[in-house]
Amino acid sequence: MELEQAQKLWQPQPGWLNTASYGLPPDPVWTAVQEALADWRVGRTSWEGWGEAVDRSRVAFAGLVGVPAADVSIGSTVSQLLAPVAAALPAGATVVVPEVEFTSNLFPWLVQGERGVEVRTVPLAGLVDAIDAHTDLVAFSLVQSADGAVAPYEEIVAAARAHDALVVVDATQACGWLPFDGGLADVVVVGAYKWLMAPRGSAFAYLAPSVRDGMRPDAAGWYAGQDPHASYYGPPLRLADDARRFDISPAWFSWVGTAPALELIAEIGVPVIRAHDVALANRFLAGLGRPPGESAIVTVEVPGAREKLERAGVRAAVRAGRVRASFHVYSTEADVDLALDALTGRPDPG
């Protein structure tokens, strides 16, 4: 699908530059969720149809990051999906994490401190050099939430492999706009409500077989069964033999919206979306006299920026004391120029 054609499927109000907080649903997502809610309201259908959206979502996510669908587990949040990975670390293990890491990929490791797990936080720029023979696992965001910094993924993986360390990647701020090979890592987690533009409440984890074989599915329920529909009642334990053993029972309506969102992203193409998003981000930076970057997320320090943007109706975020603007498939040059007019005080050409 051509980008210009695809953009007609979104209905944003001008000035939405905050996809790094949450993405906007395209029409197929909105329609699917509304139809499901209408059916729920009157009891028009059974739930199994809603549940089928999970399988579609799993397959679509696997395709986006280049891993087998059998190695993908579904859940609701990044930290929930990381919990069994952290719990499987041996006592006394050492984890290296960037000091600016969003806490969903930090707290799961820190809570293992009572077992002697040590977490070392280092500057993102020094992450590669910080991986050494004492490192058991390195965890980092592919794109940082605070400022949009893109991690040197392949360099980090190479350093970890040189020291037999596991690699855990939070791709929540990347997946949907930044192409990457998920199979290079041992674990990749993604919250789907940002750049994947799904309803909040759906999340994915790629779990390499070598890692999940050492993990225990403490949250296992009927949906983790080899055949979920034959796992409603009674023993024995009969879990799936692939990553589904770590699934939790899905929040139906979130997944009803997740499947069409991911399928549309695949239809447009992540490389196409990346080129569009980064071009807009660099238009924004150029308008402020800043050098170009490689991220769809940018942060700037402009006196009174938050107030100026709010007065102009531009919705952005403030992270780590700086204004954070993020640009996605539905963003336009007009959105960028609206923000630049507000920040620079230049006259509106209209």
Q: What is the pLDDT of residues 103-130, one digit of tens each?
A: 999 999 999 999 999 999 999 999 999 9
Residue 34 CB partners (closer than 8 Å, separation 6+): none
pLDDT of residue 346: 63
pLDDT of residue 24: 98
Rounded to whole angstroms, the Cα distance separating 166 from 22 reads: 29
The residue ranges of the chain whose pLDDT is under 50 are 349-350
Domain end marker among 216, 235, 266: 266
CATH, residue 121:
3.40.640.10
> How many domains is the chain built from?
2
Domain end marker among 239, 266, 293: 266
Whether 182 and 41 share a structural domain: yes
Whether 166 and 216 share a structural domain: yes
Alpha carbon 247 to its chain's center: 17
Rounded to whole angstroms, the Cα distance separating 251 from 192 reads: 13
CATH, residue 335:
3.90.1150.10
Asked if the structure places residue 350 within a domain, the reply is: no
Domain end marker among 266, 294, 315: 266
Whether 75 and 7 share a structural domain: no
pLDDT of residue 117: 98
Whether 179 and 273 share a structural domain: no
pLDDT of residue 176: 98
Asked if the structure places residue 349 within a domain, the reply is: no
Whether 108 and 11 share a structural domain: no
Three-state SS string over the chain comes to CCHHHHHCCCCCCCCECECCCCCCCCHHHHHHHHHHHHHHHHCCCCCHHHHHHHHHHHHHHHHHHCCCHHHEEEECCHHHHHHHHHHCCCCCCEEEEECCCCHHHCHHHHHHHHHCCEEEEECHHHHHHHCCCCCCEEEEECECCCCCCECCHHHHHHHHHHCCCEEEEECCCCCCCCCCCHHHCCEEEEECCCCCCCCCCCEEEEECHHHHCCCCCCCCCHHHECCHHHCCCCCCCCECCCHHHHCCCCCHHHHHHHHHHHHHHHHHCHHHHHHHHHHHHHHHHHHCCCCCCCCCEEEECCCCHHHHHHHCCCECEEECCEEEEECCCCCCHHHHHHHHHHHHCCCCCC
Whether the bond between 250 and the residue before it is cis, its omega within 30 degrees of 0, is: no
Whether 184 and 299 share a structural domain: no
Asked if the structure places residue 118 within a domain, the reply is: yes
Selection from 291, 297, 301, 300 nearest residue 277 by Cα: 297
The pTM of this model reads 0.96
Domain membership of residue 310 as a residue range: 3-27+269-344
pLDDT of residue 165: 98
Whether 66 and 211 share a structural domain: yes
Whether 97 and 148 share a structural domain: yes
Whether 25 and 199 have beta carbons less than 8 Å apart is answered as yes
Whether 305 and 223 share a structural domain: no
Whether 243 and 134 share a structural domain: yes
Whether 65 and 183 share a structural domain: yes
Asked if the structure places residue 285 within a domain, the reply is: yes
Asked if the structure places residue 211 within a domain, the reply is: yes
Whether 103 and 228 share a structural domain: yes
pLDDT of residue 306: 86
Rounded to whole angstroms, the Cα distance separating 313 from 18 reads: 12
In the block, residue with structure tokens 């790629």: 206
